[in-house]
Structures are given as C-alpha cells and as structure tokens.
Amino acid sequence: MASSSASGSTATNSSTTGRTRGAGTGTTFTRWLGIVTIALMAAVVLFGLVLSPADVVQGESVRILYVHVGTVWVAYLAFIVTAVSSGAYLWRRTHSLTWDRIAGASAEIGVLFMAVTLLTGSLWGRLSWGTFWVWDARVTTTAFLFITYVGYLAVRGLGGSHEQRARRSAVVALLAVIEIPLVHFSVKLWRSVHQDASVAGRTTDVTLDGLMLFTLVLATVAFTLLYVWYVLHRQRVMAMEDALDDKGLDLALAERRREAQDATSTTGEVTN
C-alpha cells in the first residue's frame, strides 16, 4: 500500500504541475537593476580602495567606513521595512502573504548586512581603538539587534501554516523594531566611544573631502539597490516555495481521501 501511494503521488505531481523550464524570478526590470547594481559595486571598490584619499586622522582605515556605513544603512532600512510590511499584513483585512514574504526577505538581507556591519566595525575598531571589541553602548546594542533578528528568522522557520508563520513573525517584527531607535540614540543616551553621526548629524562640524563624501553616498546607493534587487527576487522565491508547499498539501489530502475511500469500499465488500 505504501509503495503504491508513493508512486501514485509522484505520477500525479509531475502531471499536474505542468513544468515550464527556465522561468525563474527575474524580470526585465530586475535584470537591469542587477546590472546597474554590479556596476555601482565595482565603482564602490574603485573609489573606496583606490581613488578616494586617506583621512587626516584615521589614515587608510577610513576606507572600511564606506562599507560599514553602507551596510548598516541597509540593515536599518531592511528592519524598518520588515516592521512596516508586518504591520501591513496584520492590519490589512486581506492578510496578503505578499506582505509577510517582503518582511521575511527584508529581514534576511538585513541580518547579513548587520553581520557585515559588526565585522567591519570590529576591524575598524582594531585599527582605530586598538581592540576588536568593546562593551560600548552602540556596539553592544547593535549586537543585540543582530541577535534579535536572527531570532526573528528562527521564528519564521517554525512549523505551521503560512498564516501562522506570518502572524507570529509579524508580532516579533513589530516588537523587534523598537530596538532601532535605542541603537541609534545609544551614543547620546550613554557615554560611548562610538562617534555620533558625521554627515547627517545636526550639530556636526565635520567637513568631508568631496571624493570621500561621494564614495560614501555611492556605497549607500549601491547597497540600497542591492537590497531592492534581493527583496524582489527573494519574495518571489518564497511565493514559489509556498505554492509548492500548498500543492504538496493538496496532493497529500487527495491521497488520504482516496485511501479512506478504498478502505471503506473494501470493508463494505467484506461485510457484504
């Protein structure tokens, strides 16, 4: 019985899915977006490592900050988008799973870039402060934020239906985003060795060299485009995973109904 149901399931699966090869998650827009992003990333490497000047105080280590600032910006953006999408999922009466997928895709790249932020910050800290790690307010709260969103991704991986996944992860995302202002204002709330905002700060008297500012903006734009590209592709992958999951569930249910009918008819024959 087991072998016949398994072979029956496979046959039904291949006949109902109607395979169309070569159609992934790309569109004309995302292909162009990808090309522009690759070009800008190449420019970031060129300007960040070669063309931009060394800093008067920090020396060559300032080159790390182009990556550090770009990735932390995207991580913040990603976590805010995760929270907004989660809120939209819970608030909208339709409870569209697209919002949940955007939230999940956004959190994934946010976690990666937050990890890169911590790593690059640690490397820069070794060159500037003489140590890889200090239990500083900004550094510690950033690490805590990273761990929180790793937890968010773990919650997404728990079992249950798509709706259950969406609902519980949305609640976690709305709680987790509260940490972002805490991280951002940690340098003001506590005594911190981490510097305050250099470019966007209202009270800053820092003047950046034109090429350094250009490289910083270039890196921020490049990483933001990469983020947009990733979220578009990843939420489509998630939609396909969900669709395949639903198809598998439908097939399993149909199989169980067929087995139940077979068992009923066999029992009926024996009784008669």
Partner 1 sequence: MDDLGFILLSYIAALGGAAALVWQVLRRGRALGAELPDEDKPWI
Q: Which CA distances in Å does 130 have to 60, 64, 133, 190?
A: 15, 15, 9, 21
Which region, judged by CB under 8 A, interacts with partner 1, from 11-19, 140-148, 157-165, 202-210? 11-19
Based on the shown chain and the rule CB under 8 A, indicate whether residue 263 belongs to the binding site for partner 1: no
Nearer to partner 1, 184 or 247 (CB): 247
Tell me which residues in 172-231 interact with partner 1 (CB under 8 A). 226, 229-230
Nearer to partner 1, 41 or 217 (CB): 41
Which region, judged by CB under 8 A, interacts with partner 1, from 16-24, 84-92, 148-156, 201-209? 16-24
Based on the shown chain and the rule CB under 8 A, indicate whether residue 104 belongs to the binding site for partner 1: no
Q: Are 37 and 229 in contact (CB under 8 A)?
A: yes
Q: Which CA distances in Å does 52 have to 45, 63, 78, 180, 211?
A: 10, 8, 28, 31, 6
- Give the residue from 67, 164, 47 showing the smallest Cα distance to 112: 67
For Cα atoms 166, 168, 169, give the angle at the middle one, nearest 5 degrees: 65
Nearer to partner 1, 115 or 213 (CB): 115
Q: Are 176 and 148 in contact (CB under 8 A)?
A: yes
Q: Are 199 and 66 in contact (CB under 8 A)?
A: no
Structure tokens at 174: 């709305």
Based on the shown chain and the rule CB under 8 A, indicate whether residue 12 belongs to the binding site for partner 1: no
Q: Are 37 and 227 in contact (CB under 8 A)?
A: no
Based on the shown chain and the rule CB under 8 A, indicate whether residue 10 belongs to the binding site for partner 1: no
Based on the shown chain and the rule CB under 8 A, indicate whether residue 250 belongs to the binding site for partner 1: no
Nearer to partner 1, 70 or 152 (CB): 70
Distance in Å, CB of 11 to partner 1, minimum: 15
Q: Are 227 and 74 in contact (CB under 8 A)?
A: yes
Based on the shown chain and the rule CB under 8 A, indicate whether residue 252 belongs to the binding site for partner 1: no
Nearer to partner 1, 154 or 175 (CB): 154
Based on the shown chain and the rule CB under 8 A, indicate whether residue 51 belongs to the binding site for partner 1: no
Alpha-carbon gap, residue 219 to 45, rounded angstroms? 9
Alpha-carbon gap, residue 181 to 179, rounded angstroms? 6
Site map for partner 1, 55-94, x if CB under 8 A? ----xxx-xx--xx-xx-----------------------
User: Of 1, 15, 22, 272, which one interacts with partner 1 (CB under 8 A)?
Assistant: 22
DSSP 12-49: HHHHHH---TT--S--HHHHHHHHHHHHHHHHHHHIII
Residues that bind partner 1 (CB under 8 A): 17-27, 41, 45, 48-49, 59-61, 63-64, 67-68, 70-71, 108-109, 112, 115-116, 119-120, 123-124, 126-127, 226, 229-230, 233-234, 236-237, 239-241, 243-244
